[in-house]
Amino acid sequence: MKQDPKQTAVIVGGRSDIGLALARRLARAGHPIVLAARRAGELAEDAADIALRHGVDVRTQELDVLKPEGYAAFLERLPADTGIVACVVGLLPDQQAVEGNPQAAQQVVDTNFTGPLLLLELAARRLAASGAAQPAVIGIGSVAGDRGRARNYWYGAAKAAFAAGLSGLRQRHARTPLLVMTVKPGFVRTRMTAGMDLPPALTDTPEQLAELIHRALRRRRMVVVPWKWRLVMAVIRLIPERVFSRMTF
């Protein structure tokens, strides 16, 4: 059974639960994997596990999303057959701690917006020029970016900016085979949300989200939202601002 060799998939934020789940799903489909993160050496066991289970090549590569000066060198070192770059980096801060705190606000914006968008912008340019068949860059936004709430508006605002940036990037490369995918999850059960009281019916596991992304990748979908959240957000977007501003959720 000979199959086409699959392109390498790069997961930036390879330590996160969503990143690892996505890496596993893509490895199962036969893609070699690069896990990129800070202190990438600590991911050696995860890399070995994915490689052994799925029989693909998995390597780790050092990257700090908060240091954009390192992006070019990072992309330079990626395998030549790289066809997918996914950025699942994100920081969900304690909103109260960010309000009125310029440094904390800067970090939220850099981690959720500036860093990921700059990185995917550079990756998109490289993939579009590489001649790879069906290349893709994937960014993880959030439904929290669709409407700002008192509880997490710094996070939501950064995710909204990221989504707008990806939309522009998509237009920029519309005449190339490059797919720019925006994923907007709802609640996901991860270490980032551990301890939060999440409604089970609206909460996905990282594995479910990874499955959704993988399916969307095969169908070349541009914007991906879990269907339950599409319904929820359709309603939330319709609420007049005067009413929404007084709601407490």
Residue 54 or residue 159: which is nearer to other proteins going by CB? 54
Whole-angstrom distance, CA of residue 249 vs CA of residue 101: 23
Query: Shortest distance, CB of residue 183 to other proteins, whole angstroms?
Result: 25
Query: Among residues 155, 162, 187, 229, which one is catalytic?
Result: 155
Q: Does 39 bind other proteins (CB under 8 A)?
A: no
Q: Does 54 bind other proteins (CB under 8 A)?
A: yes
Residue 1 or residue 201: which is nearer to other proteins going by CB? 1
Scanning 51-59, 84-92, 99-107, 202-210 for contacts with other proteins by CB under 8 A, the matching segment is 51-59
**Binding flags for other proteins, 211-230, as an x/- string (CB under 8 A):** --------------------
Annotation says 153 is catalytic = no
Q: Judging by beta carbons within 10 Å of its beta carbon (0-12, 13-18, 19+), is residue 24 exposed, middle or buried?
A: buried
Q: Does 1 bind other proteins (CB under 8 A)?
A: yes
Whole-angstrom distance, CA of residue 195 vs CA of residue 3: 43
Residue 53 or residue 77: which is nearer to other proteins going by CB? 53
Q: Does 46 bind other proteins (CB under 8 A)?
A: yes
Whole-angstrom distance, CA of residue 88 vs CA of residue 26: 14
Q: Where do we find the tokens 């890399």? A: 47
Whole-angstrom distance, CA of residue 204 vs CA of residue 199: 10
Q: Does 196 bind other proteins (CB under 8 A)?
A: no
Whole-angstrom distance, CA of residue 69 vs CA of residue 14: 20
Give φ, ψ of 60 to 5 degrees: -115, 150
Q: Does 192 bind other proteins (CB under 8 A)?
A: no
Scanning 2-10, 50-58, 101-109, 142-150 for contacts with other proteins by CB under 8 A, the matching segment is 50-58
User: Which candidate, 192, 218, 215, 227, places its Cα nearest to that of 20?
Assistant: 192
Residues in the chain: 249
Binds other proteins by CB under 8 A, chosen from 52, 73, 222, 231: 52
Residues 113-142 close enough to bind other proteins by CB under 8 A: none
Cα torsion 79, 80, 82, 86: sign: positive
Enumerate binding residues for other proteins (CB under 8 A): 1, 45-46, 48-49, 52-55
Mind telling me the catalytic residues?
155
